[in-house]
Amino acid sequence: MTNAATEHIKVRPAAGETDLAAIIRIARATEQEEDFEAVFPAYLRHLADHGRLVVAERSAAVAGYGATLRIGAGPDEICMLTDLFVDPRAHGAGVGQAVLSELWQDQSRRITFASLHAHALPLYTRFGLDAWWPLLYVGGDVRAVRKPDGWSVEAAGADRVAALELSWTGFDRSAEHRFWSAWPAGTGVVASLDGQPVAAGSVGGAPIEYGICHLAIAPDPDPAADRDRVRDAVLAVLSWLQPADGRARACLPAPHPATRALLTAGWRVSEFDLHMSTEFGLLDARRAVLSPGLA
């Protein structure tokens, strides 16, 4: 999707410390709340190593950046837009469109979590995505969350977590689990019901956004039991956390079974994004517990 508005914009792979500094400048200017010293640079390097990270130049200066990550492989592969941010002085000038035209060319299964910025949803809609459900950033005091009966939780290595997730979902997220485990206060975690592992994920992210990064849950063939299991897995992991200030968060689809339980326990929604995708159901809103940056 190149046109007169975007042809003066050059999109290229991000490379080196100068681009890193330009990306951080744009991230600050667009008011992202990040640990710009350690976590955010590591996140960008992860995207450059495992996905695609590009910058857009306009008038010889970096005016925006974007990134995608492939999740899964073969016909089930999903291409997630993890980031798209443009210098506020260049908003509405076609930079976002130019970046997307480079990142999204032949992938049919596309997802993202769109901000509520007025340009975001229309832009993604034009690239074939529809908005399906809000992803809520739910935060609160872990001491208000009771561990459900029969559950136990233990720390685990990233490779064990990734192997469990692969066996339940078919998705290999080992690179991301290793990345999250290396975060401040990061670790893998396995939750068991009656001694049997049924949930595996990563937690971490201190001092900003500490909480569940991603949690995979073994499916139960009985829909009612599955719903309870998905809810209780989230509650069990959150009740196990011991942050110094007692506070944590999880990013949950609004229809997720744990959402109501946490709001009833006094947790609060601080913000939300809109999940957009080229077809409904690429992510399961009743089961997904994920990171808006890496899914």
Ligand X SMILES: CC(C)(COP(=O)(O)OP(=O)(O)OC[C@H]1O[C@@H](n2cnc3c(N)ncnc32)[C@H](O)[C@@H]1OP(=O)(O)O)[C@@H](O)C(=O)NCCC(=O)NCCS
Which of 5, 15, 38, 225 lies at the binding interface for ligand X (CB under 6 A)? 5
**Pairing mode, strands 196-204 and 211-217:** antiparallel
Interface of this chain with ligand X, residues 99 to 158, rule: CB under 6 A? 114-115, 117-120, 122-123
Number of residues forming the site for ligand X (CB under 6 A): 20
Per DSSP, 289 falls in state B
Q: Which is nearer to ligand X, 114 or 261 (CB)?
A: 114
Q: Which residues fall within 8 angstroms of residue 9, CB to CB, at 6 or more apart?
A: 56, 57, 58, 63, 94, 95, 98
Closest to ligand X by CB, 78 vs 93, is 93
Task: List C-alpha distances in Å: 246 to 2, 121, 157, 208, 233.
Answer: 49, 35, 24, 13, 19
CB of 7 to ligand X, least distance (A): 13
Taking CB under 6 A as the criterion, the residue among 97, 187, 277, 291 binding ligand X is: 97
Residue 258 lies near ligand X (rule: CB under 6 A): no
Q: Does 241 bind ligand X (CB under 6 A)?
A: no
Coil/strand/helix, residue 75:
helix
For ligand X, give the closer residue by CB, 135 or 234.
135
Interaction of residue 96 with ligand X, rule CB under 6 A = yes
CA distance linking residue 97 with residue 93, whole number of Å: 9
Interface residues with ligand X (CB under 6 A) are: 5, 30, 84-86, 91-97, 114-115, 117-120, 122-123
